[in-house]
Amino acid sequence: MDRQSLFTQFLESRKLRNTAERRAILREIVAPGRRHFSAEDLVARFRRRGVAVSRATVYRTLEHLVQGSLVRRLSLGHKHALFESNLDRRDHEHLLCLRCGEVSEFASPALERLLERVCRRKRFTPQRRSVQLLGICGACARGKRPAEGGRTARQFPRSKTTERDRSRGGNP
């Protein structure tokens, strides 16, 4: 089944409308080369291109997609998260730098076997898997990267809520 069909089926199962805004969000999430992104990254991309998708719709749609396991949330601390599509992705784990926000992916057959053994021993049937190691990357440890700097999609999302957004009821 293709991504659009999966998305449509998912929306129908939750009795949610398949709106143009939600389809735009899906297209952005599964765009070639798209890896990790924050909700604010999506909002900014839509605004730059003049696409009318509200901040609230982005946040709500991402939450629905996380609940439906179509998108994975990578928690980076209080109110900070990155997301990635679970569609067409193999299982992998993440190393998250607490200083610069760098996200490195890795796959480990040995870790996979260990998790399977633990689940068997505990008679546990996993529904989802997420291994995230939070720490300091090599570049930051060597002082090669500033702790604060220009924000990229791979760095911690920052709240960009303005007075105008708050008056409109926008979510940070």
Q: Quick one: 68 and 97 in the same domain?
A: no
Domain boundary among 71, 89, 107: 89
What is the structure's pLDDT at 119? 95
Residue 163 lies in a domain: no
Better pLDDT: 153 or 136 = 136
For the segment 3-7, the average pLDDT, to the nearest whole number, is 80
For the segment 35-62, the average pLDDT, to the nearest whole number, is 91
Residue 80 lies in a domain: yes
Q: Quick one: 42 and 107 in the same domain?
A: no
Tally of domains in the chain: 2
> Per DSSP, which regions of the chain are E strands?
71-75, 81-85, 93-97, 103-106, 132-135
Q: Quick one: 3 and 83 in the same domain?
A: yes
Domain containing 15: what range? Answer: 1-89
Encoded amino acid at 57, one letter = T
Q: Quick one: 63 and 135 in the same domain?
A: no
What is the structure's pLDDT at 146? 62
Contacts of the segment 80-83: beta carbons below 8 A, 24+ positions apart: 80/38, 80/156, 80/157, 81/38, 81/39, 81/157, 82/36, 82/37, 82/38, 82/157, 83/29, 83/36, 83/37, 83/38, 83/39
Residue 168 pLDDT > 50: no
Domain boundary among 70, 89, 108: 89
Q: Quick one: 56 and 73 in the same domain?
A: yes
Q: What is the rounded CA–CA span in Å between residue 45 and residue 3?
A: 21
For the segment 15-43, the average pLDDT, to the nearest whole number, is 87
What is the structure's pLDDT at 167? 38
For residues 149, 150, 156 and 157, what is the CA-based torsion angle, rounded to 10 degrees? Answer: 130
For the segment 153-162, the average pLDDT, to the nearest whole number, is 36
Residue 141 pLDDT > 60: yes
pLDDT bracket for residue 147 (50, 70, 90): low
Q: Quick one: 141 and 62 in the same domain?
A: no
Residue 57 pLDDT > 60: yes
DSSP-assigned letter for residue 6: H
Better pLDDT: 82 or 122 = 122
Residue 153 pLDDT > 70: no
Q: What is the rounded CA–CA span in Å between residue 33 and residue 79?
A: 25
Backbone angles phi, psi at 72, to 5 degrees: -105, 135
What is the structure's pLDDT at 169? 38
Q: Quick one: 102 and 52 in the same domain?
A: no
Residue 166 lies in a domain: no
Q: Which of 1-5, 93-97, 138-142 is least confident?
A: 1-5
Output the domain CATH number for residue 104. 3.30.1490.190
Q: Quick one: 82 and 8 in the same domain?
A: yes
Q: What is the rounded CA–CA span in Å between residue 101 and residue 146?
A: 11
